Amino acid sequence: MHDGWRVLPIAALVLAPAAVYATEYLSVEAAQRAAFPEATAFVPVPLNLDAEARARLAEVAHPPGAHDPRVWRAMAGGKLLGTFYADAVIGKQEYIGYSLALDAAGHVLRVDILDYRETHGWEIRNASWRAQFTGKSATDPVEVGRDIANISGATLSCHHVTDGVRRLLALNALLPRP
């Protein structure tokens, strides 16, 4: 106390251990509209990647995405506006869904985070740690995906998203021109 700091009652601090952080920001449809507001249709592009294409992609960015991205052509009537990708990157402790919008020339229009979860790999590992809260009253439980937590403190690294975008750009170069 000599330096003017006050010790806090610790029990009070652990009253409200919240659930792990997860947020959905944008649906795929909303992200498409935000990127191409003037589009009249989003036409799915089937991805039929052969082994050679996959190998080339793997050279561009590691690790490759969990599953193949989804791809659409954004159209205004008969005119091509650009290409829209929905993809996800999975790190050790996080899952990040994101979208990439490219203009008709293949330049990046925008990258949006669709959803973000930090649960990955943590919940099980922390089961015993979390057990210490059993019986405490959770005055403000944060339900995953519904309530929103404003967290002060570092988020997980987002460099996987950068890797993911690089991979999608490489994939875009492999797609047949519309």
Partner 1 sequence: MPSSPVPERWSRRAQVSLGTLVEVALPAAAATEPRFAAAFAAIAHVHRKMSPHHPRSDLARIARGAHRRAVRVDPETYAVLELAKTLAAETGGAFDVTVAPVLSRQGLLPARAAGRGARSGQMQALRLERGLRVGADVPLALDLGGIAKGHAVDRAIAALRAAGAPSGLVNAGGDLAVFGSENWMPIRVRHPGNPAVLLWLFDVKDAGVATSADYFREGHSALVGRNRRLRPFPGSITVIAPTCMLADALTKVVALQPARARALLARYRAHAFQLDAGEDGLGARTTCMASTAHLRLLPALAA
Neighbours of 84 (CB within 10 A): 26
Question: CA 47, CA 52: separation in Å to the nearest integer?
Answer: 14
The nearest distance, CB 8 to partner 1, in angstroms, is: 4
Reduced to 3 states (helix: H, G, I; strand: E, B; else coil), residue 173 is helix
Task: State which residue, 40 or 162, has the beta carbon closest to partner 1.
Answer: 162
Q: Does 81 bind partner 1 (CB under 8 A)?
A: no
Q: Does 113 bind partner 1 (CB under 8 A)?
A: yes
Which H, E and C letters describe 48-116, residue by residue?
CCCHHHHHHHHHHCCCCCCCCCEEEEEEECCEEEEEEEEEEEECCCCEEEEEEEEECCCCEEEEEEEEE
Among 45, 56, 122, 172, the residue binding partner 1 under the rule CB under 8 A is: 122
Q: Does 34 bind partner 1 (CB under 8 A)?
A: yes
Burial of 97 (0-12, 13-18, 19+ CB in 10 A): buried
Task: State which residue, 166 or 178, has the beta carbon closest to partner 1.
Answer: 166
Task: Report yes or no: 164 and 40 within 8 Å, Cβ to Cβ.
Answer: no
Task: State which residue, 83 or 99, has the beta carbon closest to partner 1.
Answer: 99
The nearest distance, CB 85 to partner 1, in angstroms, is: 15
Task: State which residue, 31 or 171, has the beta carbon closest to partner 1.
Answer: 31
Question: CA 58, CA 51: separation in Å to the nearest integer?
Answer: 10
Neighbours of 22 (CB within 10 A): 20
Part of the chain binding partner 1 (CB under 8 A), chosen from 52-60, 64-72, 138-146, 167-175: 138-146
Q: Does 103 bind partner 1 (CB under 8 A)?
A: no
Task: State which residue, 15 or 66, has the beta carbon closest to partner 1.
Answer: 15
List residues binding partner 1 (CB under 8 A): 3-18, 20-21, 23, 25-26, 34, 37, 96, 98, 110-113, 116, 118-119, 122-123, 126, 129-130, 139-140, 142, 147-159, 161-162
